[in-house]
Amino acid sequence: MTFSPSVLLPTFNFNNLRGDVFGGITAAIVALPLALAFGVASGAGPIAGLYGAMFVGFLAALFGGTPSQVSGPTGPMTVVMASTFAALTAKYPETGFAMAFTVVMLGGVFQIIMGLLRLGKYITLMPYTVISGFMSGVGVIIILIQVGPLLGHVGKGGVVDSILLYPIVFSHINPIAAGLGLLTLLIVFAAPPKLNRILPAPLIALILCTVISVKFFPNSDIPRIGDIPSGLPSLQMPYFSWGALKDMLGYSLMLAMLGALDSLLTSLVADSITRTQHNSDRELIGQGIGNCMAGLFGGLPGAGATMRTVINVQTGGKTNLSGMIHALVLAVIVLKAGSLTEPIPHAVLAGILIKVGIDIIDWGFLKRAHRLSTKGAGLMYLVMGLTVFVDLITAVAVGVFLANLLTIQAITDIQVKDMKAVTQGENENWLTPEERSLLKAAKGRILMFHLSGPMSFGAAKSISRRMAIVENYEVLILDLTTVPRLGVTALLAIETMIKDALAKRRDVFLVGAQGQVKSRLEKLEILHKLSPNHQVPERIIALERSMDIIHEYAPPAEV
């Protein structure tokens, strides 16, 4: 497998410059309050959210494979980053902060490796029930941990810690903060769609509620963003500790996989609305480069952001220039207007994030899942619960494992349904009249074992069980005519079946083996156990030769 470095060279198309400029500016306006909110929610501070939006937004657009995609901090990535900061700083108070940004860099490196290994097409091969449960769980996490800040309290990074503080939160509500938070929710939910297209509701809420807090409550004790660094970010050099390496690698893999999934799902959305085709592997490399640089400069990790991407396309953005312009606009704000963000109340950002959490929850599928499949609905709720109360990696791992088991069981049921072990052919419509006649004439001395469809390891047990039922036969005909593929376990079960029959001095005919099936039988030297005369292309030939064998011998003794 080769990967040409020239593939990574950025390309520019200036034919849509006006649309890209307008789309990029609009996406930046939408991204500003979200970046600040995600920065605060992560525990790294608002400036980390802006740095992440700048670096991931610019570099993922420059090197990525989805031209219209806008990248930056997202809800799922922020949830993981919040738990990363909380865990590492609690365990390593002096170096935990540096370790957390090193985790971001490592996550970017893993994404680059995924792209170079061309794993992009496999990332989104995940059952929808798992994706839905996982994303809904992330939405629930965001809502639960933002209730405290909405009501005027300092937020906690974990769900359980946040819930344990609810008695204090609800018994000591800060009325000013709560009022601003509820006003924010009212604005983001009630803003007319036409107004939202001109000026995004989160930005309206951010500006209006901040102005109200400064104008009417200048001396209140509500939590605000406060001083944030201005100017260019400083380097956060990588920091490793052997004792913490296992934890760091775990969190970085979690960020890499989540970022890859988040980005490529957004790429699919971008494809559907632009009628284009993204390059998954290049997108992973672009996201990886962006996250490496974000971590190096103290920024949050990011991924393709669905809402910002859709808004970018709807307002004219079509090429990678729009994503780069979005990042440059945010850089100008950081360099020239950072002081304007200092009085923003945390309650306002919490209101914006609660709206994000509600939007992430897959309400459409939650309402209908039980109608489609009880098992699918149960799996989705399990993944959702594990996401909220355990961790995201465990939730996805358990979800994918159980989904695969359910899929294997469903495929096995289909395979077993079409599996036939017959000695009398009267009611077997899959046989021709001539074949049924020959089976009837054999009077149970011929066993026809028919397999159909791809045979996986799930069918192997049933093959052995079916063979154990029938003992009194003289000739075994193994029909593989409609089997396009054999799994290793099913192959070994067939080998055992042939060996047992030959050990009992029964004649064995193999029918219709071709392609991959024949190749595997040859590699395992199963065909060598049968003479060429017993390897035939059609059932009728095997039946006719079986009748000849039967007529040569006296009636078989009881076995």
How far lies 70's CA from each of 203, 234, 304, 476, 537, in Å? 18, 24, 6, 63, 57
Q: In which residue ranges of the chain is CATH 3.30.750.24 found? A: 418-552
pLDDT confidence of 224, banded at 50, 70, 90?
Answer: confident
In the numeric block, which tokens belong to residue 46? Answer: 């608002």
The counts of H helices and E strands in the chain are 24, 7
Task: Identify whether the C-beta of residue 166 lies closer than 8 Å to the C-beta of residue 173.
Answer: no
d(CA 460, CA 219): 75
Which residues of 103-258 form beta strands (DSSP E)? none
pLDDT value at residue 428: 77
Distance CA 476, CA 422 (A): 10
pLDDT digits (tens, 9 = 90+) for 207-219: 899 999 999 998 8
* DSSP string for 277-326: ---HHHHHHHHHHHHHHHHHTT----EE-HHHHHHHHHTT--SHHHHHHH
Confidence grade of residue 484 (pLDDT, cut at 50, 70, 90): confident
Give the pLDDT confidence score for residue 394 in this predicted structure. Answer: 83
d(CA 518, CA 302): 49
User: Which pair of structure tokens corresponds to residue 284?
Assistant: 């992973």
Phi, psi of 298 (to 5 degrees): 75, 30
CATH pick for 418-552 out of 3.30.499.10, 3.30.2350.10, 3.30.750.24, 3.40.50.80 = 3.30.750.24
pLDDT of 530 reads 86
Average pLDDT of the residues in 22-30: 86
Region 449-470: mean pLDDT is 65
CA distances from 417 to 97, 346, 453 (A): 58, 60, 11
CA distance 88 to 295: 15
Instruction: Kindly tell me the sign of the dihedral angle through the C-alpha atoms of 184, 186, 192, 193.
Output: positive
Q: Output the average pLDDT for the chain.
A: 85
For 344, the 3-state DSSP assignment is coil
Digit-coded pLDDT (tens) for 489-532: 778 888 888 888 888 888 899 998 888 888 888 888 888 888 88
pLDDT, tens only, 47-77: 999 999 999 999 999 999 999 999 999 988 9
Q: Name the 3-class secondary structure at 220.
A: coil
The separation between the first and the last C-alpha atoms of the chain, rounded to the nearest angstrom, is 56
Reply yes or no on whether the pLDDT at 1 is more than 50. Answer: no
Instruction: Tell me the three state secondary structure of residue 144.
Output: helix
Taking only the tens place, the pLDDT of each residue in 97-130 is 899 999 999 999 999 999 999 998 887 777 888 8
> What confidence tens digit (pLDDT) does each residue in 393-419 have?
788 889 888 988 888 777 777 767 767
The CA angle 124-129-133, to the nearest 5 degrees, is 100
Q: At what angle do helices 346-360 and 128-150 cross, to 10 degrees?
A: 160
Name the helix (H) or strand (E) containing 35.
helix 17-42
Q: At residue 482, what are phi and psi to the nearest 5 degrees?
A: -105, 25
**Average pLDDT in the 438-447 region?**
86
Q: Which of 163-167, 199-203, 212-216 has the lowest mean pLDDT?
A: 199-203
Q: Which residues contact 22 (CB under 8 A, 6 or more apart)?
A: 315, 316, 317
Which tokens go with 269? 């959305």
Name the pairing type of β-strands 303-304 and 475-482: unpaired
Provide φ and ψ at 137, rounded to 5°. -60, -40
Is 60 exceeded by the pLDDT of residue 7?
no
Over residues 308-327, the pLDDT tens digits come to 888 888 778 889 999 999 99
Contacts of 366 (CB under 8 A, 6+ apart): 132, 136, 380
Reported confidence tier of residue 280, pLDDT bands at 50, 70, 90: very high
